[in-house]
Structures are given as C-alpha cells and as structure tokens.
Amino acid sequence: YRLYRATKKKGKYICVGVTTSTTFKDTGLSVGKTYYYKVVPIVANEAGEDVAGKASAVKSVKVKK
C-alpha cells in the first residue's frame, strides 16, 4: 500500500510511506492539526512493474497529544 497525506481534504496529497501491513505510523505531525489520508493498493503486473489500484476514500485524522 502507498499512503498519501494532505493538509486539506481536496489539497495536494503527497506519498508519506509504503507498507505491506494494515497499520502505519506517520511521524513529524503537528499536535491539534487535522490531516487527510488516502490509501492506494499496489500490485505487481506480469512484467514485475508496480500497478496502482483505486484509491480509498479520504479519512481525516486529528493529531492528539
């Protein structure tokens, strides 16, 4: 999976990490600020190239202490 984050729901999303797990810990965030995430599944095609699937719905997360 590739994880993308933005500071606005319809803002510019940047890739913040890649994981094979169903959990991911993002770092370097500001307390009290809300961030928006979406997840894109990645699979390898027959040629071994990464192919992105459909992005998930956007999920908002407010950073707590």
23-47, pLDDT tens digit by residue? Answer: 999 999 999 999 999 999 998 888 8
Q: What's residue 35's pLDDT?
A: 98
DSSP secondary structure code for residue 6 in this structure? E
DSSP secondary structure code for residue 52 in this structure? E
CA distance 9 to 38: 10
Q: What's residue 32's pLDDT?
A: 95
16-28, pLDDT tens digit by residue? Answer: 999 999 899 999 9
Q: What's residue 50's pLDDT?
A: 87
Helix ranges (H only) for the chain are: none
Asked whether the beta carbons of 53 and 42 are under 8 A apart, the reply is: yes
Query: What Rg, from alpha-carbon coordinates, does the chain have?
Result: 13
